[in-house]
């Protein structure tokens, strides 16, 4: 695996590979890698000739400065994991390389409804930051295939929208890879590393509450079952941002389910100051 830090160097390297007819796959990450990330690399490897990953903890997508400060960094371990997983190129830029003119005057993206619900509502500015970094990374890497994790369900929708907005939808194909879970159901996440042992035990309730809703949801009004899911979280020491049922394609919230509409149950909740998110699709 080669490690490239400078955007221009990566662009030149990929350009010559592209000219040889090689397919380029890209999995962007913020490091602190776990098996979920490695599954993106695996998928990438199956479908491409050049497997690119990036590690960059993007400051512009953290609406909470403490979350940014405490975001786990395990770069040496990450490099070994990526090498083992068969990654060909690791892009490891600095903030200066990515935002040479600083972060004060970056693009604004028209994300419409997506920015007003769920993560968009509870993390103001977060998706603008995701678009700023992804726009930059996509222009540098210009991949044929992009790999994202389903755990960040809404982010996947936002990035697909960004790809349309910047006119790359004919060029970049997005593959969303399933969420990987620990044995007790907790969705793998870099932030899990911040949980203390007692918090880690409670954390599994996030998945349990989504599964409870998925398994007990009947056509009709959704309020009662959402409230039951929320109670499960509160009783286990969570503070909830939301636990919602939404249309799987648009993320419009579903108050009344007809039993046929494809939906997704999504939640975001804190254990002390660690914020976790998860989701389950119901009938897709």
Applying CB under 6 A, the residues found at the interface with ligand PAF are 28-30, 58, 61, 130, 133-134, 152, 155
Residue nearest to ligand PAF (CB): 28
Distance CA 130, CA 133 (A): 5
Minimum distance from residue 15 beta carbon to ligand PAF (Å): 23
Reported for 42-49, long-range contacts at CB under 8 A and 24+ positions apart, including other chains, are 42/85, 42/86, 43/147, 43/175, 43/177, 44/87, 44/145, 44/147, 45/85, 45/86, 45/87, 47/23, 47/145, 47/175, 48/22, 48/23, 48/24, 48/143, 48/144, 48/145, 49/17, 49/22, 49/23, 49/24
By beta-carbon proximity to ligand PAF, the closer residue of 72 and 237 is 72
* Annotated catalytic residue, options 37, 108, 126, 135: 37
Cβ at position 18, least distance to ligand PAF in Å: 22
User: What is the nearest approach in angstroms of ligand PAF to the Cβ of residue 231?
Assistant: 30
Q: Which segments of the chain does DSSP mark as H helices, in order?
A: 7-19, 35-47, 65-69, 75-85, 95-98, 118-122, 126-141, 153-165, 197-203, 205-216, 223-235
Comparison of 155 and 209: residue with beta carbon closer to ligand PAF: 155
Q: How far apart are CB 98 and ligand PAF at their closest, in Å?
A: 10
Q: Mark whether 37 is an active-site residue.
A: yes
Instruction: Return the number of the residue (61 or 209) whose C-beta is nearest ligand PAF.
Output: 61
Rounded to whole angstroms, the Cα distance separating 62 from 60 reads 6
Q: What amino acid positions are annotated as catalytic residues?
A: 37
């Amino acid at each position: 695996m080669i490690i490239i830090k400078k955007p221009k160097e990566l662009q030149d390297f990929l350009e010559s590979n592209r000219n040889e007819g090689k397919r380029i796959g890209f999995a962007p990450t913020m490091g602190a890698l776990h098996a979920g990330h490695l599954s993106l690399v695996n998928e990438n490897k199956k479908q491409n000739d050049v497997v690119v990953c990036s590690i960059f903890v993007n400051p512009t997508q953290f609406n909470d400065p403490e979350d940014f400060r405490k975001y786990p960094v395990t770069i040496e371990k990450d490099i070994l994991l990526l090498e083992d997983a068969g990654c060909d190129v690791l892009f490891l830029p600095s903030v200066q390389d990515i935002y040479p003119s600083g972060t004060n005057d970056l693009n604004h993206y028209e994300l419409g409804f997506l920015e007003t619900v769920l993560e968009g509502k509870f993390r103001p500015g977060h998706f603008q930051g995701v678009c700023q970094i992804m726009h930059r990374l996509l222009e540098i890497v210009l991949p044929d295939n992009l790999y994202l994790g389903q755990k960040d369900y809404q982010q996947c929708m936002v990035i697909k929208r960004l790809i349309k907005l910047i006119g790359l939808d004919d060029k970049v194909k997005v593959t969303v890879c399933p969420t990987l879970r620990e044995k007790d159901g907790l969705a793998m996440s870099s932030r899990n590393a911040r949980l203390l042992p007692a918090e880690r035990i409670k954390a599994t309730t996030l998945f349990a509450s989504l599964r409870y809703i998925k398994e007990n949801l009947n056509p009709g009004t959704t309020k009662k079952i959402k409230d039951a899911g929320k109670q499960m979280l509160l009783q286990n020491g969570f503070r909830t941002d939301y636990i919602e049922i939404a249309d799987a394609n648009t993320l419009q919230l579903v108050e009344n389910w007809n039993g046929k509409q494809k939906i997704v149950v999504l939640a975001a909740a804190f254990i002390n100051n660690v914020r976790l998110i998860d989701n389950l699709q119901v009938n897709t």
